Amino acid sequence: MVSKLLMLGTISFLTQVSVKADPKPEDVISSVTQEIITEIKSRPELASGNLGSINELVDKKVMPILDFEKMTALAVGKKWKAATETQRINLMKVFRQLLLLSYSGSIKFAEQAKVKILPPRRKQGAKNVIVKTRVSVPGQQAVPVSYRMKLTEGGWKIYDLNVLGLWLVENYRVQFSQIVKSQGIDGLIKEIKEKNSKLLGKSNS
C-alpha cells in the first residue's frame, strides 16, 4: 500500500498543467492533481501502465514543471559539482528513467485519488516553499504528501516530495552516496543503468 501511495504522490509530482498567470504554489499542485486524474481517465493506455505512453506524458507534461537538474544534483550530493557536463547529462537521463520505471506500474491507482491542499504557512514573498497535501484513495486513510517548490523565472518548480515522512531526494541520496564514494560518478551511472535494465525486464515479463 505504501508503494501505491508513494506513486500517487510521485505522479502528481511528475505532471504539469497550464494555470493562471503568476499562480500560487498551491494552485500549481491543485491543477496538477486534476490534470493527471483527467489524463488517466481519458487515456486507458496510461492506466494500463504502458511505458511508451507514460514516457510521452512525462516529456510533454512533466519536465516543464520540474527543476529536474536541481533534483538530480541534490540526489547525487556534493559530488555533483565535480561531475563533468556529460556526466551530469547522463545522470539526469538515467535518474529520470529510474523514476519512471520505479513508479509507472502503479499509475492506475492515481485516478482514484483525492487530494486536499492544506492551508499554507509561510512568510509573504518566500521563494522556497513546502506545499502540504493529504492524498486519499477509497477505503484507505489519507496520507500526507508534501512538495518542495521554488520560484524561478519560469514559475514555481517542484524539486522534491515527501510521502509518509520520507523525502524522495534524501532517500536516493543515501543510496547514491555509497556508490559514488566507492565507484565515482561513472560508477553511479553504471549502477543506475543496470537497475533500470532489471526494472525494464520486470515490466516486460
Kindly give the interhelix angle for 68-76 and 85-103, rounded to the nearest 10 degrees.
100
Per-residue pLDDT tens, the chain, 205 aa: give them: 545 555 555 555 554 444 445 689 999 888 877 887 788 788 888 878 788 888 887 777 777 778 999 999 999 999 999 999 999 999 999 999 999 888 776 676 677 788 899 998 888 889 999 999 998 888 888 889 999 999 999 999 999 999 889 999 999 999 999 999 999 999 999 999 999 999 988 776 6
pTM for this entry:
0.82
CA dihedral 10, 144, 117, 131 (to 10 degrees): -70
Domains of the chain: residue spans and CATH:
2-204 (3.10.450.710)
